[in-house]
Amino acid sequence: MIAMFDSGLGGLSVWQAVSAALPQWPITYLADQAFCPYGQRSREEIAERSVKICRWLAEEGASILVVACNTATTAAIADVRRELAIPVVGIEPAIKPAAAMSRTGRIAVLATEYTLASERVKTLLDAHAGDVEVLRRPGAGWVEQVEAGDLSSDATRELVRAAVAPLLEQNIDHIALGCTHYPFLAPLIRELTGDGIRLYDPAEAIARRVESLLDEQGLQPPAPRRHRFITTDPDASGMSQRLPALIGQPYVVESLRLQ
């Protein structure tokens, strides 16, 4: 199976892309909701959680692991790779394609405070931004709204407006979505940007990467295809109620105590 994890429900935006690209493969998705959000935690805390989760997923029989969280990729992908013998795919803000396509010479990246302040983003900017100016903004409160399943209330709309409206006066033409929770708020972002600004969600690129690694390794999907959804929240009912709105179908959610 393909294993995937995030601090919470955001990685389901990656789940959608991977599950559509690889219709034969079962996916086990783990949401670390007991520790969500990661964006305000220390590197050590995020790395410790990530390694623990990945070890557990590998023991469950993962053929490949997707870190469906920019923050965990930034903080912990090296630790995770050191621990696991299977291929590990991480996710990072699509600064490279957004900068390459920019005509106005200005783009924005929206991500958690942790990701925005990271060396990883600094390296991406140094390597790929060139002369393009990259405005960095956190989506304050966005992760919490997605976790609560609130994708369209006035309160959510206001949080989206607070982060995006100031960018609209800056002549940007691309926005890289650098947190896997944010694509669920894309309809609200588009209400503000219209079609003139392109949103970059790297989920489909991740799905292509997973596909090519599985091909390279000659791995075949186990039958039958059975997806699993797991939360570290002792109460699985929250996640199970949110799944239809986020991925279009209900599933049973298991609760896992991981200490």
Give dist(CA 40, CA 53) in Å, integer.
Answer: 19
Helix (H, G, I), strand (E, B) or coil at 109: strand
| Residue 36 bears catalytic tag | no
Give dist(CA 189, CA 123) in Å, integer.
Answer: 27
Instruction: Considering the complex, state which of residue 26 and residue 93 has its C-beta at the smaller distance from ligand DGL.
Output: 93
Residue type (1 letter), 158: E
Helix (H, G, I), strand (E, B) or coil at 63: coil
Structure token pair of residue 44? 């050590």
| Residue 54 bears catalytic tag | no
Q: Is residue 201 within the footprint of ligand DGL (CB under 6 A)?
A: no
Would you tell me how many other CB atoms lie within 10 Å of the CB of residue 166?
A: 12
Cα Rg of the chain, angstroms? 18
Helix (H, G, I), strand (E, B) or coil at 176: strand
Count of residues that bind ligand DGL according to CB under 6 A: 17
Q: How far apart are the first and last CA of the chain?
A: 24
Give dist(CA 247, CA 253) in Å, integer.
Answer: 13
Q: Is residue 50 within the footprint of ligand DGL (CB under 6 A)?
A: no
Q: Is residue 7 within the footprint of ligand DGL (CB under 6 A)?
A: yes
Q: Which residue's Cβ lies closest to ligand DGL? A: 39
**Interface segment toward ligand DGL; rule CB under 6 A; list 17-25, 53-61, 175-183, 201-209:** 175-183
Structure token pair of residue 60? 């469950």
Q: How far is the CB of 162 from ligand DGL (least distance, A)?
A: 17
**Interface segment toward ligand DGL; rule CB under 6 A; list 6-14, 21-29, 220-228, 249-257:** 6-14
**Interface segment toward ligand DGL; rule CB under 6 A; list 1-9, 156-164, 187-195, 234-242:** 1-9
Q: Is residue 179 within the footprint of ligand DGL (CB under 6 A)?
A: yes
Q: How far is the CB of 219 from ligand DGL (least distance, A)?
A: 26
Contact set with ligand DGL (CB under 6 A): 6-8, 10, 36-39, 69-71, 112, 115, 143, 179-181
